[in-house]
Amino acid sequence: MANRTITFEPDDRWNAFITCCSRAPCGDGALAGIPVAVKDNISTRGIPTTCGSRILDGYVPPFDAHVVELLKASGAAIVGKTNMDEFGMGTTTETSAFGPTKNPCDPDRVPGGSSGGSAAAVAAGLVRMALGTDTGGSIRCPAAFCGIVGLKPTYARISRYGLIAYANSLEQIGPMARTVEEVSRLMAVISRYDPRDSTSIRRPYIHQPTTDIAGLRIGMPVEYFGEGVDPRVADTVRKAVGRLEDLGAEVEECSIPSMAYALAAYYVICTSEASSNLARFDGVRYGPAADTRKAWHDAFSEIRWKGFGREVRRRIMLGTFALSAGYYGKYYAKAQAARHNIIRDFERIFSSVDLIAGPTMPTVAFRLGEKTDPLSMYLSDILTVPANLAGVPAISVPCGTVDGLPVGLQLMGRRFEDELVVNAAAAYEERGAA
CB of residue 336 to another protein, shortest distance in Å: 9
Residues 34-93 that bind another protein (CB under 8 A): 42-43, 49, 51, 56, 59, 61-63, 65
- Residue 432 near residue 411, CB atoms below 8 Å: no
CB of residue 338 to another protein, shortest distance in Å: 15
By CB under 8 A, is residue 208 in contact with another protein? Answer: no
Q: How far apart, in Å, are the Cα atoms of 257 and each of 177, 262, 334? A: 33, 10, 16
Residue 9's H or E segment, with its range, is none
By CB under 8 A, is residue 305 in contact with another protein? Answer: no
By CB under 8 A, is residue 19 in contact with another protein? Answer: no
Q: Rule CB under 8 A: choose which of 272, 380, 396, 410 binds another protein.
A: 272
Q: Rule CB under 8 A: choose which of 108, 291, 328, 376 binds another protein.
A: 328
What end-to-end distance do the CA atoms of the chain give, in Å? 41
DSSP 123-169: HTTS-SEEEEEESSSTTHHHHHHHT-EEEEPPTTSS--TTB--S-TT
Q: Rule CB under 8 A: choose which of 11, 198, 215, 404 binds another protein.
A: 198
Q: Where are the alpha helices (DSSP H) in 249-295?
A: 259-277
Residue number with CB closer to another protein (294 or 310): 294
Please say if 114 is a catalytic residue.
Answer: yes
Q: How far apart are CA 220 and CA 133, in angstroms?
A: 25
Residue number with CB closer to another protein (323 or 343): 323
DSSP 408-425: EEEEEESTT-HHHHHHHH
Q: Total residues contacting another protein (rule CB under 8 A)?
A: 46
Residues 127-166 that bind another protein (CB under 8 A): 160-165
Q: Rule CB under 8 A: choose which of 19, 30, 33, 169 binds another protein.
A: 169
Please identify which of the residues 118, 138, 200, 272 carries the catalytic annotation: 138
By CB under 8 A, is residue 276 in contact with another protein? Answer: yes
Beta bridge partners of 133: 173
Beta-carbon contacts of 331 under 8 Å, excluding residues fewer than 6 positions away, are: 268, 272, 321, 322, 323
Q: Rule CB under 8 A: choose which of 29, 30, 32, 197 binds another protein.
A: 197
Q: Which of 218, 287, 279, 241 is nearest to 61 (CA)?
A: 287
CB of residue 279 to another protein, shortest distance in Å: 2
By CB under 8 A, is residue 205 in contact with another protein? Answer: no
Backbone angles phi, psi at 132, to 5 degrees: -125, 180
CB of residue 43 to another protein, shortest distance in Å: 4
Q: Where are the alpha helices (DSSP H) in 22-148?
A: 66-73, 116-123, 140-146
Please say if 334 is a catalytic residue.
Answer: no
Q: How far apart are CA 201 and CA 329, in angstroms?
A: 31
Residue span binding another protein (CB under 8 A) among the ranges 24-32, 249-257, 269-277, 399-407 = 269-277
CB of residue 85 to another protein, shortest distance in Å: 16
By CB under 8 A, is residue 255 in contact with another protein? Answer: no
By CB under 8 A, is residue 258 in contact with another protein? Answer: no
Residue number with CB closer to another protein (116 or 162): 162
CB of residue 62 to another protein, shortest distance in Å: 7
Indicate if the alpha-carbon torsion angle 401, 214, 250, 392 is positive or negative. Answer: negative
Please say if 39 is a catalytic residue.
Answer: yes
Q: Which of 186, 122, 179, 121 is nearest to 153 (CA)?
A: 186
CB of residue 324 to another protein, shortest distance in Å: 6
Measure the CA dihedral 366/369/371/374, to 10°: 140
Residues marked active site are found at 39, 114, 138
Residues that bind another protein (CB under 8 A): 42-43, 49, 51, 56, 59, 61-63, 65, 160-165, 167-169, 195-199, 272-273, 275-276, 278-282, 284-286, 292, 296-297, 300, 320, 323-325, 328, 332
